[in-house]
Amino acid sequence: MTSISSTKFALFGAALIAISYGLARFAFGLFVPPIRDDLGLSPDVIGIIGALPLISFLLATPLAPLASVRLGARNAAMLSGAFGAVGLALISQASGAVSLGVGVFACGICTGLMMPALTAAMQALVNRSVHGRVSSVMNAGTSIGVAVAVPAVLFLTDAWRFAYGSFAILAAIGVAATWFVIPSVSRVTPASIATPPRISVLQWWRLGRLSVFAFAMGFVSSAYWIFAPDLAVTLGSLSPDNTGWLWLAVGIAGLGGAVVADLADRNNPPITQALMLMMLAASLALLAASPGQLVLSVFSALVFGLAYMSLTGLYLMTGIRLLPGRLSVGPVLPFMAVSLGQATGSPVVGLLVNDMGYADAFSTFCAIGILVAMLSPFYPRYLDHEAEEGAEEETGLQAAYDYQVPDENTEEAPAQEKPLEAPAD
């Protein structure tokens, strides 16, 4: 294993996230039009297949922390990459709905295992004072992976099998690189760390409300992730290669999601969630209204990418704030709720497309998004004990991660860093 700086580790982690999230999971919707035509699949079947990687993600996520401890960070990350490489290879050779479904299911397992493995490696390699920045860079890998898939659809529209074969090779390269970069140890915990306080009823209540909002956002966003390119091709008569610009816009705008989520943590999370959900709903309506206008379609993708990545970042930080010291619970439950919402919404939107058409189906999901945005006053606020008496409250993604570990003057903390006390119940 070679030594690696925090910056290099963040960039390497972003590359692995780009493969496991961007290529193995979210790029599927971009290739739906040629896959559907070549394999003769109906929209409702595509909706069911689109839900499979989300279901496997939900199955793998609860087991991922245990795998990171039992196998070690390196082996867990390599196992995740192996599932991705196999799944992408199966998709490239798919001959029907069953083989295609098996491939995307394997890709979902890859997605569910990767982030916990990288988190365990980060705790072993990276100083805790920069965990927030490193995690933010790694999370941006999703947008990078989505953007990377664009040249494939622009130049390989009629060769989606070759494109997925190329993705499989990239995943295999990632597995090999992981052996040299990721340590073979599991999570490192300072000996003097304080035991996290027991989760209170109020914390569970607020985390439950957060998960409900996350589920609803995932449900609404599933329409865009799975069917946006197919809508533009079927309803707007755009050429399949032009739909690549939609995913490029999603990827570019998504990079700004970390900034928006950080600003939300500094100001008013409920208001930010309402605004971002309204933007998410507006992107669906705009695409359904003008699918034949490439400029407006790309603009809708920009709005969607910014809103989606901002919301996922906001849910991440809120989960950490609500359960300080429990990184394996606080942000995990809302992220699982997002995937559960997407797994539920994908077949539903497929059925609506069959019965009502693309425009009415997307308009229905837009209305649901607006309704959820109106309920944002119920979004959970942070617990009152976060601010210490006589100390200025720190905010933002970095502060959220610093607050997760209520240490007692750990030796690993930098000399200039003020030690945090365990919050009172």
Structure tokens at 388: 């210490």
For residue 403, the model assigns a pLDDT of: 46
For the chain, give the mean pLDDT. 79
Measured CA to CA, the distance from residue 60 to residue 117 in angstroms comes to: 12
pLDDT higher than 50, residue 410: no
For residue 424, the model assigns a pLDDT of: 40
Confidence of residue 225 (pLDDT cuts 50, 70, 90): confident
Q: What is the pLDDT of residues 148-170, one digit of tens each?
A: 777 776 776 668 898 899 999 99
Tell me what percent of the residues of the chain surpass a pLDDT of 90: 27
- 28, 226 in Cβ contact below 8 A? yes
For residue 280, the model assigns a pLDDT of: 95
Structure tokens at 233: 């091709």
For residue 324, the model assigns a pLDDT of: 63
Q: What is the pLDDT of residues 314-340, one digit of tens each?
A: 887 787 777 765 555 666 788 888 888
Measured CA to CA, the distance from residue 49 to residue 227 in angstroms comes to: 12
- Structural domains present in the chain: 1-187 (1.20.1250.20), 199-383 (1.20.1250.20)
Q: What is the pLDDT of residues 59-85, one digit of tens each?
A: 898 888 788 778 888 899 999 999 999
Structure tokens at 5: 């700086």
Measured CA to CA, the distance from residue 375 to residue 281 in angstroms comes to: 14
Q: Return the CA Rg of the chain.
A: 21
pLDDT higher than 90, residue 269: no
For residue 3, the model assigns a pLDDT of: 59
pTM for this model (two decimals): 0.74
For residue 266, the model assigns a pLDDT of: 63
DSSP letters spanning 199-242: PPHHHHHHHHHHHHHHHHHHHHHHHHHHHHHHHHHHTT---GGG
